[in-house]
Structure 1
């Protein structure tokens, strides 16, 4: 059931329908498990999920609610989400003014509102983050320093503290993030969104130093709030550490902190801005010329079309970003920019949002005149006349291709080996943990192979590190040729590798892979003018016979590998000596 707030006054010019999360609302059934609900939230990167029964919203479960889950007992992850949801769900009509919604959020103590249409049906979700990202707050954020929004020092927890205790501390102190002291590795951060992800992955009660996000991004307490907001947007994060002139962490800041105390000022500023906009539209040619100069000097690409979507105006930034001059595009449709990457459904959803709300915002791939693809953040607004008929569409866009490439590069560095491009230990452990759970459910065999290249150090010492690096690259390519698509090859460092073999039918299948991995080294490696001959010492551990955890299986394979080293190298051993093996 939902509890509807009082209908706002008439005459509002900036409804929440323009900034809310619209489209397909994330929902689940009351009997869905907490883990399943968390997995869907984590997959879609949202902060809440609606619980619906027979097409009626009966509750909501949020990231903050995740803190109440008992991480010390993962069995609780399988409880129905209806047992921990919040009810009733507060709702607002889609016509509610943004400033008024900000005040309602503060007064209710909630972070989310369900947005409904005239028929009372759900059409979107409004959060504090949506309001903080709205451009109407910018004058306020420019005038206020970061220190003024930091009300208390951060909660600092030791990296040795178990996850369950940290969740209890966060829930008790009503905080959405804590700073984690990770010893030599420095400071990290743990947030409510991380907790949802841990539930989705069935993370055990692990010391938080292994789970914290690092490095801890910071902003100076002397900076204006607008800089903090821009850093949050640019890095796609929700918290920054605040540091003083001595680079000491004095607090944490997020979107919630930026909104504290700003609601009434924001409402007044927004109304004043809208009044000034209306006056500007009625002013003389001189004022219109000034507006044109502002548009022409904007760094955002601007395109205006008629109601039939034929281009009538573009600014210089449009030409700079797309490569098309105004003369080349006026009279044509934006289809000339189409990349071909989006299907018909994508555009149907876009036009449905424009027809329903008069507004659409999202990321879209387009193509420059040169044929180069680029990713843009696009906002489209339907412009209507006095009687509500659409007369034009205005599009504003920014090229965010480099931002996305930077994100991908950061992810590559975090999860993949820089030299070979194969997964590193962090990604391996994540995949192995998932494979163990899958093998447990399916009652199937799983194998971990620890491989160490024999006499690799001699190659480095005699032929140089460049030859050694090329040898590792050629070795990984040969190993990949021996594996299935779902198998994983990871590099732990140096000449140490791990092979993960999930869903094996029988021990003989595992042994056959080990034989193939030994055979790949029979042919010398050709590197420049050198012919390099190496071997591999392999240790094999099996799930569940040799271990049921990530560390047990890796350690078991490591021990078995050293037996292979001891017995003459270039052979393999099983961890359990009672299982028949060949070498």
Structure 2
């Protein structure tokens, strides 16, 4: 009920306040009623508490004032098509309060017919499910993110990697995976304690964020292992430049509380389609290249493909 209806609607009918009072005034759910043109003609107290709009604010206005921008134009077009055909509609809607905060409702909109069979009003009943929605969002976040650093986790990284490789195949582009392991991390953890080790991991995550493009994906796989997914590239030199940038920013000292910490990184690189067309295999190849870098003394990068490695 967020779209303006067609101007060819029948005249507005009046819905008696006594009928509304008996049915909806004291219900715990938010209720608002519009006339057939889509203008709000009645709200209950629960609606005012939920939306933040008082009667004076909202009467005579379109429900579009609640639009959050979270639903598409097509969503509201389908909604309006359903109810103007005389059928009830039900769905999950994210609305925006008067103060700008978002809330989520399970909403039912029912057309009310007059004696002549024409629609006179629409009654919307909203059940607030914001806590449930927020709990679901939190569960989804934890399923795909590292709790300590806020970076993506392995599951999310692989899903985005598969998607990037599919698009790269269609567009004849490249995808690169950089596998990063900190040098000396175990020594820092053992000598300065796990709290300092955790602080270092958080600081490393922030520096990696500053090094990549907006659409690149950074993940922490656990311990001191990180990965970067770089999609839609056409030149391996872009990846070489990024690897050098990562090595540079991670070699600069970290100030963690009272401690000045120095660490370095080993970076391994594998690319699609040069090295593999399988996401897990590509990740393994980047990991293997990283171990070559670490065995060579660390603070360096290696490319998985021997022929490309000469480009260093």
TM-score by length of 1: 0.45
1:338 aligns with 2:66: yes
1:57 corresponds in structure 2 to none
Identify the match of residue 357 of structure 1 among 76, 83, 86.
Answer: 86
Q: Residue 339 of structure 1 contacts residue 373 of structure 1 at CA under 8 Å; is this kept in 2?
A: no
SS of alignment partner, residue 251 of structure 2: coil
Q: Quick one: distance in 1 between partners of 2:242 and 2:258?
A: 31
Q: Which residue of 1 aligns with 2:243?
A: 514
Distance 1:503 1:323, change over 3 A: closer
The 1:436–1:384 alpha-carbon spacing in structure 2 relative to 1, beyond 3 Å, is closer
Distance 2:308 2:99 in 1: 62
Residue 433 of structure 1 is aligned with which of 154, 162, 168? 162
Cα deviation, 1:177-233, whole Å, max 9, x if unaligned, reads xxxxxxxxxxxxxxxxxxxxxxxxxxxxxxxxxxxxxxxxxxxxxxxxxxxxxxxxx
Contact between 2:38 and 2:63, CA under 8 Å: does it hold in 1? no
Q: Is the 8 A contact 1:573 1:581 kept in 2?
A: no
Q: Which residue of 2 aligns with 1:542?
A: 271
The Cα shift of 1:330 comes to 8.1
Conserved in 2, the CA contact under 8 Å of 1:378 and 1:396?
A: yes
The unaligned stretches of length 5 or more in structure 1 are 1-284
Alignment equivalent of 2:257, drawn from 528, 541, 550: 528
Matching residue of 1:412: 141
The aligned runs of 1:223-262 (5 Å cut-off) are none
Cα deviation, residue 337, structure 1: 5.0
Unaligned runs of 5+ in 2: 1-17
Report Cα offsets for 1:288-325 as digits up to 9, x if no partner. Answer: 89x92x64453322223444555554444334423455
Q: 1:500 to 1:381 in 2, by over 3 A?
A: same
Determine helix, strand or coil for the equivalent of 1:579: helix
Match status 1:500 vs 2:229: yes
5 Å-filtered alignment, 1:71-150, equals none
Aligned residue in 2 for 1:374:
103
Aligned positions of 1:218-297 closer than 5 A: 292=22, 295-297=24-26
Measure how far apart 1:488 and its partner are.
2.0
Q: Does 1:487 align with 2:221?
A: no
**Distance in 2 between the 1:311 and 1:574 partners?**
64
Higher normalized contact order (CA 8 Å, seq sep 6+, divided by chain length): 2
Counterparts in 2 of 1:581 and 1:485: CA distance versus 1, 3 Å:
farther
Q: C-alpha separation between the residues in 2 aligned to 1:330 and 1:562? A: 64
Quote how far apart the aligned CAs of 1:444 are: 3.6
2:120 equivalent to 1:391: yes
- Alpha-carbon shift at residue 522 of structure 1 (Å): 3.1
**Aligned residues of 1:301 and 1:317 also touching (Cα < 8 A):** yes
